[in-house]
Each structure stands twice: as C-alpha cells, then as structure tokens.
Amino acid sequence: AQSVTQPDIHITVSEGASLELRCNYSYGATPYLFWYVQSPGQGLQLLLKYFSGDTLVQGIKGFEAEFKRSQSSFNLRKPSVHWSDAAEYFCAVGLYNTDKLIFGTGTRLQVFP
C-alpha cells in the first residue's frame, strides 16, 4: 500500500541554522511529490512539488527538496532558517492513477532565536 513516512515528529533548530526534514515514500509507480506547510491555525500552503525532470526542486520561502528514487526519499532543505518558518510540515505523494494525495504525519518545526 502507498504510504509516506516522516520519521521526525518534532525538530528544533536555532534561527540561522540549516534544516533538513526527511520524507520517505512507498509507491510502486512514478511518484508525484509535494511539501506543504501549515502555520498554526492556518490551512496548508504548497512549498514545492516534483513531477518530473530535475530532481532538485526549488520552492517558495527559500526551500528546496531533492528527489532520490534509489532511496525513495524527498527531503526538504533550507540553508538558513527564520523564526517565521516555525510550523508543521507535511510531505505528500500523489497517486498516478487517481487524484489522491497521501500525506505523511507531519514534522513540527520549532525555531529558537
């Protein structure tokens, strides 16, 4: 069955430090991969997506993600975290033969000054 795993439930970083949020997926076909961010009390905002082509994807707010097929991973990175990046981050896989998004359980990011 298709699934998305975000191994880190909670991550704490200092402002200005680099960040990497992990995402692994299990899906037999070509994956369509997304990262969404949810600020407290808000809806989800798309950070970036991978459908095909270059495996390093640039997104909004200075985020990037790299698709590694051999590792079934789509990790999210940012070189320097800002306090406003504190939020919940969700990785999701789109299923090729449906219109469904399967979400991971999320990683809560805390940023200390």
Q: Is 52 an interacting residue with respect to another protein (CB under 8 A)?
A: yes
For another protein, which is the closer residue by CB, 17 or 46? Answer: 46
- Pick the piece of the chain touching another protein (CB under 8 A) from 17-25, 36-44, 58-66, 72-80: 36-44
49 binds another protein (CB under 8 A): yes
Helices (H) and strands (E) in the chain, counts: 0, 12
What SS3 state is found at 61? helix
Q: Round to whole Å and give the CA distance between 92 and 18.
A: 22
Size of the site for another protein (CB under 8 A): 26
Residue 57 or 111: the one with the smaller Cβ distance to another protein is 57
Burial class (CB in 10 A: 0-12, 13-18, 19+), 76: buried
Using CB under 8 A as the binding rule, whether residue 5 contacts another protein is answered as no
Q: Kindly indicate which of the ranges 18-26, 49-57, 68-76, 78-86 contains the residues binding another protein, using the contact rule CB under 8 A.
A: 49-57
Q: Angle at Cα 99 formed by Cα 95 and Cα 103, nearest 5°?
A: 60
Shortest Cβ distance from residue 16 to another protein (Å)? 27
> How many CB atoms sit inside 10 A of residue 23's CB?
26
